[in-house]
Amino acid sequence: MIENTAQALKRNHKKPQSGIRIRTLNYVMICVSVLLYLLLICITLQASRQYDTMLSATDAYIHCQKYVSLAEKSFDYLTGQARLYTMTLDPQHISDYFARVSAGEHRISALERLQEYPAGDDISTLLQTAMDQAVELTAWEAYAMRLAADSQGYDISSFPELSSLELLPEDQGADSSRLLERARELVFGADYQATKNQAENNITAFLNNVMEQIQQKQQDSISALKSALVRQQVLIGILLAGTILLFVSILRLIVLPMQVFIRNIRDGKQLESAGAYEFRYMALTYNQIYEATAANILMLRNRAEHDPLTGIANRGSFDQCRQLLKGKGTPLALMIIDVNQFKQVNDRYGHETGDQVLKKVATLLEYSFRDSDLPARIGGDEFAVVVMDITAEMKFVIEEKVNSINHALLHPTDGLPRVSLSVGIAFSENGFPEDLYRNADKALYQIKGNEKRSYCFYENAKSTDSENGQKP
């Protein structure tokens, strides 16, 4: 059986024509997922860079705003202290002036910090001009405070920024009133105020230009960030759709076919060619094995249920039929058949001829009765026939068939020797009771070897027994 199965599989081996491979599906999904994740990472990095750019621009604006405000306050504070000193001659104003300078809150220091911002040439020129003007204002303020201090004979040795200044020739030797007047002219004059206004205007223009640059950078960064976020959302949607597609593909190509396969295998059915290529291939292979196995099982069952010589049912099938019909309410008849003088046929013509005679008997029995009836070989030259749906009132049907068969055996046209059959028949109204076989066998015993009678019904057997003083 194994050899036949292997040969059948080798002979019928083929591959499915369609179906995606699981390996191909895995490769495609892995490649697509890796590509999408790489794109997502790139877009995320781009969005992060744009966000950093926006933060940097905001920090730059805050930086510029801080030091522009500091510069503007320093302009006003230093100017105010210088003017107050020239008006009040209170040395505290000098101290406050240089205390602010020492604390790093000088207008020049603030402007120097603004130069850290990477602006264009035009904007840098504005800032440099403002710084030059701030230096000029600081020089005027220091000189004015030196003149005012000299007018009062105030010791300025503790302020090296003032003591190191040299008086102009026109101020040397001037009296105190002239020096004080000259100091006030310097910090209250039109030139001083104009320079201060120009410096402040330049700082304001610088801040406005920087603000425009920063706003443009922020807008560009925001726009790029929005685009990156949109692309990110699209990719996330694609990934989600891909995940759903992968789930559906696995469900359709693997899970559902596997469930169907398990159910069909459990139910003893062939597999449907569905799902991935591997499942289609497995179904094809399984179905080939299934068909080969079924054929072998059928062959073995046929061998187990049929007589190997005659091809009709054997003793096992006959006994199984007896068990199935036991207790059934089905009317039937049982025929027990012997071939007369069969031993003489074997002795005279040989066993091969004897086998041909048995085959001929089996063929005649199978041909003479219906498909619903069961002819069987139950011994060497002994046969039996279970005739279904027949009663004792219809015994003439059996008589005709027995006579027809014996006529064919007694008048052979195939060269085989003449033989005849002896048949015992018993009827039952209730399936196959325990005594049915015994009754038919008793009927057969009554006519065994009787050349004048070829069959006997159990009723006749009972009457014969009675005549002979015997019980059947």
Residues 359-408 have pLDDT tens digits of 999 999 999 999 999 999 999 999 999 999 999 999 999 999 999 999 99
Q: How far apart are CA 390 and CA 427, in angstroms?
A: 8
State the amino acid at position 315 in one-letter form: R
Q: How far apart, in Å, are the Cα atoms of 62 and each of 66, 210, 218, 319, 389?
A: 6, 11, 13, 107, 111
Express each pLDDT in 394-416 by its tens digit.
999 999 999 999 999 999 999 99
State the amino acid at position 452 in one-letter form: K
Residue 471 in this model has a pLDDT that exceeds 50? no
Residue 441 is among the residues annotated as catalytic for this protein: no
Q: Which CATH number fits domain 23-227: 1.10.1660, 1.20.120, 3.30.1360, 1.10.3470?
A: 1.20.120
Mean pLDDT of 290-319: 82
Q: How far apart are CA 101 and CA 107, in angstroms?
A: 8
Residue 472 in this model has a pLDDT that exceeds 50? no
Q: How far apart, in Å, are the Cα atoms of 69 and each of 111, 204, 266, 424?
A: 10, 10, 87, 134
The residues spanned by each domain of the chain are 1-10+276-305, 23-227, 309-468
DSSP assignment string, 361-384: HHHHHHHHS-TTSEEEE-SSSEEE
Higher-pLDDT residue of 161, 337:
337
pLDDT at residue 467 in the model? 35
Output the six-digit token pair for 113: 């910090």
pLDDT bucket at 51, cuts 50 / 70 / 90: confident
**Among 271, 292, 268, CA closest to 282:** 271
Asked which of 50-59, 338-347, 367-376 is least confident by mean pLDDT, the reply is 50-59
pLDDT at residue 433 in the model? 93
Q: What is the mean pLDDT of the chain?
A: 82
DSSP assignment string, 8-76: HHHHH----S----HHHHHHHHHHHHHHHHHHHHHHHHHHHHHHHHHHHHHHHHHHHHHHHHHHHHHHH
Residue 432, SS3? coil
Residue 1 in this model has a pLDDT that exceeds 50? no
Residue 145, SS3? helix
Q: At what angle do helices 107-114 and 22-88 cross, to 10 degrees?
A: 160
pLDDT at residue 14 in the model? 60
pLDDT bucket at 104, cuts 50 / 70 / 90: low
pTM of the complete model: 0.47
Q: How many residues does the chain have?
A: 472
CB 327 within 8 A of CB 434: no
- Look up tokens 């696995």; give the residue: 250
- Look up tokens 């302020």; give the residue: 159
Output the six-digit token pair for 292: 């080969």
pLDDT at residue 287 in the model? 77
Residues linked to residue 421 through DSSP beta bridges, in sequence order: 339
Mean pLDDT of 74-95: 90
Mean pLDDT of 310-326: 93
Spatial neighbors of 23 by CB under 8 A, at least 6 apart, are none
Q: How far apart are CA 117 and CA 107, in angstroms?
A: 17
Mean pLDDT of 48-76: 75
- Look up tokens 């789930």; give the residue: 247
Judge whether 23-227 and 309-468 match in fold. Answer: no
Mean pLDDT of 153-176: 87
Residue 339, SS3? strand
Q: How far apart are CA 208 and CA 202, in angstroms?
A: 10
Residue 248 in this model has a pLDDT that exceeds 90? no
CB 428 within 8 A of CB 332: yes
Residue 2 in this model has a pLDDT that exceeds 50? no
Residues linked to residue 387 through DSSP beta bridges, in sequence order: 333
C-alpha 350 chain-centroid distance: 74
Q: Which CATH class is domain 309-468?
A: alpha beta
Catalytic-labelled residue, pool 381, 389, 414, 435: 381
pLDDT at residue 12 in the model? 55
Strands 332-339 and 421-428: antiparallel
Asked which of 48-62, 77-91, 183-197 is least confident by mean pLDDT, the reply is 48-62
Q: How far apart, in Å, are the Cα atoms of 393 and each of 149, 385, 404, 431, 444?
A: 162, 18, 20, 16, 20
For the chain, give the percent of residues with pLDDT over 90: 37
Residue 334, SS3? strand
Residue 426, SS3? strand
Q: How far apart are CA 405 and CA 398, in angstroms?
A: 11
pLDDT bucket at 105, cuts 50 / 70 / 90: low
pLDDT bucket at 296, cuts 50 / 70 / 90: low
| Run of H or E including 423 | strand 421-428
